[in-house]
A and B are shown apart, each in its own frame.
Chain A
Amino acid sequence: MKIHLSNSVWIGNIDPFIHSFDTSNDKILEITSHKKWVSVHPVVLCMITGLGLFIRRKKAELSFEKMEATSRHYFERMGLFKILGLDSGIKITPHESAGRFIPLQLITNSSNLDDFICEMIPMLHLQPEQAEPIKYIISELVRNVFEHASAPDGAIVCAQYYKKSNTIRIGVVDTGVGIRHTLERFYHPKDDLNALALALTPGITGTTTKIGGTEANAGAGLFFIKSLAKISRDFFMIYSGKAMYKLLKNPKNKQAKLISDPLKDHFSSEANLPFWNGTVVAIDLCLNNTLNFNELLDLIRKVYREGRKQQTKLRYKKPQFI
């Protein structure tokens, strides 16, 4: 396998980065990077970590070409080399991380997650009303990994606050079974993209065909998170198997309306990407734009109800007159 950290990788321009991922030989993972400057979304760090841990588990070779980019210190500070057990040779003076970022973390159980959520907010120095949606996103995404992914390394999480744009960017990645596999038992998605669309539809969960879910799962988590990005007019991206669904930024002159069918949203998608064993989720949240969380819940309530009615209606049997 080969992956190249290019000059700039954010959700908006992540497609070429994913396309360049070469999955052909899983006996070795070769990681290379742009020689001058590498500037990436936290989800990219999570993906590299996920691949590195995957290759280590397979006892295959991990070859991480020495980074030359001026920005290489960032990768050291975010804990990429440490988590992969590599000596980068990069010397840094670690600053206090509060107010800027959450370095790469592996979250493997409920208790880890509780601790992480407690520690995370002071690290980002956010106001309580700003912290609320972020805690929500992390909790729901990480619990999805615990409950559905069967991921040996748990959830790989990383986040960064960008002062200039007042935006927090979050990545949550796993190298588990992937969304199509999770939905296979009850929904038989025809391909990975169809699986992503189902996973983003309110009321659909991998644990039952019943609309509304089971006692443990309602099938609402990803829809809530996509809705947060939509209302904040920010990006949301999910990549699993060979497919990626990307919610595009809602234009400022258009009313941000929640829609239960993800395929009717303002989105882009790809269905034939290099295969990702597991699931990758990334979200940007501009804290200027974040709607009051309670107002968002009102909108979600309305759309969730309508979406669920549509799902139920689709299953109504009609008499067959012959």
Chain B
Amino acid sequence: MEIKLYEYVGTFAENKDIAKDIRINKIIPSLENSEEITLDFDKVKSATQSFVHALISDVIRKNGIKILDRVYFKNCSDTIKKIIEIVIEYMQDHS
């Protein structure tokens, strides 16, 4: 499954309620169905750490870091890449 985040959050991904909604209703069900997930950040220029945390931290916490073998991040700006790296790194320290 590919999720085009711009359609949900516009150019600045900061709304944690939307992140939670995407996580619960799209990411988790797809992963439970053994599918792969692509989070496409095309046209999203920036994101907050809180947004990315709300989007993916629980997926890692509940499934372990191996779950990232089935999660792809596409068209990320440098800022978004760095924020995703921060979140994934600290989740691995404590998962």
Which A residues are closer than 8 A to B by beta carbons?
110, 113-114, 117-118, 128, 132, 135-136, 139-140, 143, 203, 210-213, 215-218, 220-221, 224, 293-294, 297-298, 300-301, 304-305, 308-309, 312
Contact = CB atoms under 8 A, between A and B. Distances in A.
A136 B49 CA distance: 9
Given A143-B50, A294-B79, A308 B90 contact: yes
Interface of B: 10, 12, 14-17, 20, 23, 45-46, 48-50, 53-54, 57-58, 61, 78-79, 82-83, 85-87, 89-91, 93-94
B14 to A, nearest CB: 4
6 contacts: A113-B15, A114-B10, A114-B15, A221-B49, A297-B82, A308-B93
- The 4 A-B residue pairs with the shortest CB-CB distance, nearest first, are A215-B58, A297-B82, A139-B14, A212-B94
A110 B51 CA distance: 13
A301 B50 contact: no
Contacts of A304: 86, 90
Contacts, number: 91
Contacts of A210: 94
A294 to B, nearest CB: 5
Contacts of B46: 132, 135-136, 293
A309 B93 contact: yes
B20 A216 contact: yes
A136 B83 CA distance: 12
B94 A140 contact: no
A224 B49 contact: yes
B63 to A, nearest CB: 12
B53 A218 contact: yes
Contact of B57 (A215, A300, A308, A309): A215
Contacts of A212: 57, 90-91, 93-94
